[in-house]
Every structure is written in C-alpha cells, then in structure tokens.
Amino acid sequence: MEKHPTLDEELMRIRSNEVETRARWIKDEDNWRKLPSRVWPVYHPAETERKSLEANTNAFCGSSSSKDNDACHRNRFDLATLLVFNSIDPETGFRMYALLADEGFVDGIVAAGVCLVEGFGVDQDYVRGVEYLQRASRLGHPQADYELAVLHYTGAAAPALPASDELAFALFERAMNQGKFSYATYMVADMLLDQPNPENYGRALRLMYEAAENGHRYARQEVLRFLNGRHKAQLSC
C-alpha cells in the first residue's frame, strides 16, 4: 500500500519552494482570462475556423480510408463543439454529436450526454444524458466518469442517478487516474478534506497542489490557504 505524507510533511515540501510558486502563479493569472468557460471538450474552435472545419469535413468524410475516417469524426466533432459552445447553432451541434455517438465515436457519446444533462441545444433530459455518459464510461472514457461523478456528488440527476458521495469519489478518482484532469484531482482532494479523517489530509494537500500546478484556480486558492495557516482542515486538527 502506498504511504501518503502527513499534512505537516506535505506543507514542509511545498514551503521549500513557496516564494517561487507564489510568483509564478501570479504571472499565470493573465492567461486564465483566455480560458474557455468549460474545460471539456479541450479544444474550443474559434468562430473564424468554421469555414475550414466545414471544408475539412467535406473533404475527409467522403473517403473510405480509416485515416480519413478518423479525421472526418474529429472535424465533425470540432465543428459541433464550435456550434454548441459558441452558441451559434447549438441544436445542429447537438444533432452532430448524437450522430457521432450513433457511429461509436466515444467523444461524441460523452458530448451528447453532456448536452442532454446541461440542456445545450436540446431539452434537458437527465435519463437520456446519463445513459450516454454511462455508455461512454463503460468504454473507459475518463470525462464520462467525471461527468457522472459530478451528478452523483450533486444529486442533480436523481432519480435517474442517485446522490452518493461514495460513488462520486470512486468515479472522480478513476477520472483522475485515467484522464489526469486537474479538475478531477481537485475534487478527489476536496472530498478527502471534507472527511473527518486527518490521516488523509496530507494526501489531499499533495493532490490539491498537483491540481494547482496544472492550472486549477480553486486548487491554488486552497493551497494558499494552507500556506497561510487558514485552511479549515488545519483549524479542525
């Protein structure tokens, strides 16, 4: 079994480079303003890319080669993302995601599920959305695991998906391990810190720092609270 650091040990490790870390994080703040409002899909095409994506879709989707078929799926997915998340034509974008899902393109399965759960381009439907996400999760897609974890955590999809911290934690942890997502890492750390078990706080802080180093804004705030001695976990010990 992996031995996790204590909270004091992890704080000592982080403090050894605290001045440089604080300075670097301050410099990073300007770049945060350029980030999309949603972290997945990772690539959010700009509106100016629409014509090139449409041209690429027409070029690649008429070929029988497997390489062109992959490019066809990817360009259609990116075009759908542009239409949905730039609010240009979310209804058409959702239909494109759903068609990709029907063809077995796993990112399309996740995206269709997200649209149904969030009501992007289609009436909100937790039952159908959860079905898409569970299908993608069974195929090993870490983003689907994360989306399902959020629904278990919030209980928003009940009764289609029950509220359960235990199931949420397991899925967040799986998404963290398979997808290396800073936002999944943050949630694992946050849930560990919410538990009345100080033995887990060192591991939680290490994960929180890892998420912070990968650009997670709230994780950075949490780490800074620890460094300032004001985190709720420190006050409860």
For 112-135, what is each residue's pLDDT tens digit? 999 999 999 999 999 999 999 999
Is 161 among the domain residues?
no
pLDDT for position 129: 99
CB 110 within 8 A of CB 132: yes
Domain end position, chosen among 107, 124, 141: 124
- Residue 37: pLDDT over 80: no
Asked if residue 134 is part of any domain, the answer here is: no
179-224 per-position pLDDT tens digit: 989 999 999 999 999 999 999 999 999 999 999 999 899 999 999 9
**Would you say residue 17 lies in a domain?**
yes
Considering the domain architecture, whether residues 18 and 74 belong to the same structural domain is answered as no
Tell me what pLDDT residue 185 has.
Answer: 97
Residue 138: the pLDDT is 99
Domain count, the chain: 2
Residue ranges making up the domain that contains 15 = 1-34+180-236
